[in-house]
Amino acid sequence: MNKRPTPGSQQQRPSASYRSSSVDVPRSANRSLVPTNSRNNALERVAKNPIRFHEENGMMVPDGYTARQIRPAARADIVTMARAMNHDFAPKAKAMFQSEIDAAHDAIENDLYISYRQPGKDFDCYRIGSNGKCFCGHTLSEHVKFTGKVNRLKCRTANCTCDAFAYVPSRPDEVGEFWLTKRPGFDASTWRAKCKCGHPHDRHEPKHKRCKECGCSNFISNFSCAACNNHWEQHETFFERGSEREQQKLPTGEFYMPFSELPDMQQVILTGSDAHMPSPYLDAAPRRPSIQQSGEIRGRAAALQTSNRAAIGYEQQPNPSIRNDRSTNANNRSPVRGPLRGSHRATEE
């Protein structure tokens, strides 16, 4: 009879001679296998069979592989992608560019183009109207009017030290932060462009740009322009006449309107509707014959819609209320339709 070990006792591990394998395998503390020469073997294999490369299209490609050069699309259809991702694309686009549309109309009527862009660039990042916000926190209408002689428009608000209008983004979508407007309860009117110190622009001095809340000595934007992807301090506010812009080969007149190079998109922001825009992906997709065009499908559908025939995907079962009534005529029994379970296959005749 074998003696059963007591709870407090420890069984002695059998010696190496009692093990099933006669090969002594090196083991670590957790009894896992430790490969001692795998790294050396891998290095030896690489040394004996080095990977050879060849040059193809200006790239180094391993032998036996083919490199394909990635080229951007000749005509990127960004509008169709945006329409597919947003069911209310047209109303959102109109609301986003409404301020620029009003500013463009005023500029064309008064021959005064107020824009926000980088110096030396041939495109405007934003068209500024009377409601455009200055760094001091006040709108353009609260500054002195432009007379054509001085471009530095001082603020007329009492106790404001702003000596020149400097446009600053006033909406999250102007700096590419579109997701903020989708948050529940978010109020876009309370949003302010911030410095890297964490405080908004209206908490900095308008003249010297020093922060009033901390030791920040200058406003350095923590955001980028949605149009050019550059920081605020790299932009300037320009007040120009039409003749001055024409000398710089900048758009004027109707070409100053947003999306003048894309007539379909311009129609969207002006009307708030994209019904006139075609969808190249849907138009190019192959179309299947409809039930009205195919006599075979129409005849088959009519044959299936009989009084004693269930629809495809459903099995015909007797009515539970008359299941035990043997005297009832079978033709008076109404089928009970229920979805197939288990096989999930449609029934066919």
* 183-217 residue pLDDT tens: 898 888 889 999 999 999 999 999 889 999 888 99
Residues 327 and 339: their CA atoms lie apart, in Å, by 29
For 104, how many CA atoms within 13 A lie in the half-sphere containing its CB? 21
Task: Give just the sign of the alpha carbon dihedral 310, 312, 317, 319.
Answer: negative
Task: Give the distance, in angstroms, between the CA of residue 202 and the centroid of all CA atoms in the same chain.
Answer: 30
Domain assignment of residue 183, yes or no: yes
- Statement: the pTM of the whole predicted model exceeds 0.95: no
Query: β-pairing, 126-127 with 113-117?
Result: antiparallel
pLDDT value of position 287: 53
- Cα–Cα distance measured from residue 102 to residue 269, given in angstroms and rounded to the nearest whole number: 12
pLDDT tens digits along 58-112? 778 888 887 777 777 666 667 777 777 778 888 989 998 999 999 999 999 999 9
Q: Whose CA is closest to 233, among 250, 218, 217?
A: 218
Question: Is residue 236 situated within a structural domain?
Answer: yes
> Do 201 and 135 meet the contact criterion of CB atoms below 8 Å apart?
yes
- Residue 281, in any domain of the structure: no
Asked whether residue 173 is domain-assigned, the answer is yes
| Residue listed under structure tokens 């622009």 | 201
| Residue 229 within any structural domain of the chain | yes
Distance between CA atoms of 300 and 346, rounded to whole angstroms?
Answer: 15
For CA atoms 188, 189, 190, 193, the dihedral sign is: positive
The answer to whether position 322 is within a domain reads no
Q: What are phi and psi of 14, to 5 degrees?
A: -65, 150
Host domain of residue 146: 79-271
Asked if the structure places residue 264 within a domain, the reply is yes
**How many domains in the chain?**
1
Coil, strand or helix at 236: strand
In a domain, 230, yes or no: yes
8 A C-beta contact, residue 201 and residue 137: yes
Tell me how far apart the terminal alpha carbons of the chain are, to the nearest angstrom: 72
